Amino acid sequence: MAINTTISEVPIRERRLKALTGYSGSVKDLAARTSPGCSITNRERSFSQTSSCSSGCAQTLLSGILDAAVVNHAPVGCLGDSLYQNIAHHYGQFHRGWAYSNVNMVSTNMGESDTVFGGADRLRDGIREAYRRFSPKAIFVTTSCASGIIGDDVQGIIDELKGEIPIPVVPVHCEGFRTKVWATGFDAAFHAILGSIVKPPQRKNPERINIINFRGSARVYITELFGRIGLKPVFVVPFATVAELEGMSEAAATLTICGTLGSYLGTALEEKYGVPYVKSSPPHGSVGMDSWLTGLGRAVGKELEIEQLIRTEKQAVQGELAQIRARLSGITAVLGMGPGFSLSYLRVLDELGIKVLYGASWHYDQQYDHGAQPAITTEMALRDEDIPFSIGEQQNYEIANLLNELKPDLYFSRHPGSSVWAAKQGIVTVPVMDEYTAFGYHGLVNFGWRIVDALANRRFVTNLSRRVRLPYQDWWFEQNPYHFLAEEEAA
């Protein structure tokens, strides 16, 4: 077994999955050099812009659990991300037609003296306050650089409160300084859930399919689609209850909307409880959806039913897809996204007839937790055409340089911090914020029309670029975008 859920901290992705944050080359080169038996080393940067933190990813998942609460043992600034988490929570509520409510989070608000004398009292108070305020079924205590560096005994304090707080209180080790790969925070959250919330199966449920996702905007469609073949999706982790998480071990299979997100949880459920994890490429676009559904069919023994489902769904969009391709033919694009989406969206854009000039990924896992190269990498490397590709933890200065050089018609980004700058450079920008954008056959068509619409109105970005002064000097635009990326060291 590769995953050990009994240890206190999940090993970071750089060690566990040989994750890279510095690379410049191409899709085929990356695929070849990260294949079994080959080697590649990370290229460090001598200059780096602000990036994200793994606690944000952990809290994005945990704050969405409907009847749980999060105590962030940190200075209050570390909870700045909660603004985004609250907006994302409202987004999920909007899609369910629910009244808006805020996420259940508190900060222990560590100050200077706590970093000298320890923050134990603040943590005790924070846990008590979260229990009093939210009456949750579980509390997750997320750590930070400050509580990690001074070595507060989080587990010890939780143990002290056992008689007083009669629910699971679970430490989540997601200090930002441990890793450059913010997706390690997903693993930290899942590690906590696997170790303290998920229960051994009472009975197997042959209908239940775990779907690892974020806010689940496509859940009505998926529920209807799976219902046609006798399956019932349960969407985790945000918008699930603690009881739903306890029962993940009883499912017939686990699917994920994104391999980067689901690798740890899916693999652990398979290894520990025998729940098959579908290791297909992500369900973006038509080809991705074929792979996702076929993998599901194989996992639950419903290959024929799935084949029929694919045929029906695909047929329904062929006419519109042809129209969109005609409209987008000759359009060029650059994209920058997390690794679960970047390679997959190269294929989505290809399906829409868009020529991708360059792809950037915010990190890259050389292998997933099940031990193999991501399926999408292997598949993309088999295509005739190679695509220039880089890896960097959302270094916007590199992307700005690239866009200035390549001048594409479109920039696609899965992080708004990056899309804003492209728009200021006068490039039509399509942010891919919802994880179900371009989901399957119908999602591909909807996404295609959204791009057609975006291209029809270039005036906004043109005006914006005329009025905004970028923070870069001409000197930077004359350099290679990867000027600050060191040469690769010998393995």
* Interface of this chain with ligand SF4, residues 251 to 280, rule: CB under 6 A: none
- For tokens 């399957």, the residue is 440
CB of 53 to ligand SF4, least distance (A): 3
- Residue found by looking up tokens 């430490």 in the block: 171
Residue given tokens 């909870």 in the structure block: 79
Identity of residue 212: I
Q: Which residues 22-61 are close enough to bind ligand SF4 by CB under 6 A?
A: 53, 55
The answer to the question of residue 78 lying near ligand SF4 (CB under 6 A) is yes
The residue among 57 and 120 lying less far from ligand SF4, judged by its C-beta, is 57
> Between 111 and 227, whose beta carbon lies closer to ligand SF4?
111
Q: How far is the CB of 262 from ligand SF4 (least distance, A)?
A: 23
Q: Give least dist CB 444 to ligand SF4, A.
A: 36
Closer residue to ligand SF4 in complex, CB, 27/105: 105
Positions 156 through 175 that interact with ligand SF4 (CB under 6 A) = 175
Contact between 315 and 344 under an 8 Å Cβ cutoff? The reply is no
**Helix/strand/coil for 429:** strand
Task: Map residues 91-130 to x or -, x wherever contact with ligand SF4 holds by CB under 6 A.
Answer: ----------------------------------------
Number of residues that bind ligand SF4 (CB under 6 A): 9
Taking Cα atoms as reference points, which of 181, 187, 127, 194 lies closest to residue 157? 127
Helix (H) or strand (E) holding 68: strand 68-72
Confirm or reject binding of residue 74 to ligand SF4 (CB under 6 A).
yes
Indicate whether 290 belongs to the interface with ligand SF4 (CB under 6 A).
no
Alpha helices (runs of H) in 382-458, residue ranges in sequence order: 396-406, 416-424, 440-456
Nearer to ligand SF4, 14 or 369 (CB): 14
CA 221 – CA 184 distance, rounded (Å): 30
In whole angstroms, the minimum distance from the beta carbon of 146 to ligand SF4 comes to: 7
* Least Å from the CB of residue 173 to ligand SF4: 11
Minimum distance of ligand SF4 from residue 264's CB (angstroms):
20
Spatial CA neighbour of 362 closest among 322, 325, 399? 399
Query: Least distance to ligand SF4 from the beta carbon of 14, Å?
Result: 16
Tell me the three state secondary structure of residue 232.
strand
Q: Using the 8-state DSSP alphabet, how is residue 277 labeled?
A: B
The runs of H, that is alpha helices, within 135-274 are: 145-150, 154-160, 184-196, 219-227, 242-246, 259-273
Instruction: State in angstroms the smallest separation of the CB of 191 from ligand SF4.
Output: 17
Asked if residue 12 binds ligand SF4 (CB under 6 A), the reply is no
Contact string (CB under 6 A) for ligand SF4, positions 169-208, x = contact: ------xxx-------------------------------
Q: Per the structure block, which two tokens stand in for 256?
A: 């994920």
From the CB of 365, what's the least distance to ligand SF4, in Å? 21
Q: Which residue is nearest to ligand SF4 (CB)?
A: 176
Please list every residue from 319 through 338 that binds ligand SF4, using CB under 6 A.
none
Give min distance, CB of 364 to ligand SF4, in A: 21
Q: How many CB atoms lie within 10 A of CB 355?
A: 16
**C-beta of 185 vs 440, nearer to ligand SF4:** 185
Confirm or reject binding of residue 240 to ligand SF4 (CB under 6 A): no
Least Cβ distance, residue 107 to ligand SF4 (angstroms): 10
Determine the Cα–Cα distance for residues 268 and 438; give it in Å rounded to an integer: 28
Q: Which residues is 172 bridged to in the sheet?
A: 142
Structure tokens at 149: 């560096």
Alpha-carbon gap, residue 80 to 83, rounded angstroms: 6
Binding mask 130-159 toward ligand SF4 (x if CB under 6 A, else -) reads: --------------xx--------------
Contact 374, 398 (CB under 8 A): no
CA atoms within 13 A on the CB side of 462: 7
- Are the C-beta atoms of residues 360 and 390 closer than 8 Å to each other? yes
> Which residues touch 474 (CB under 8 Å, ≥6 apart)?
none
Structure tokens at 51: 């990036």
- Token look-up 């906590």 returns 192
Residues forming contacts to ligand SF4 in the complex (CB under 6 A) are: 53, 55, 74, 78, 144-145, 175-177
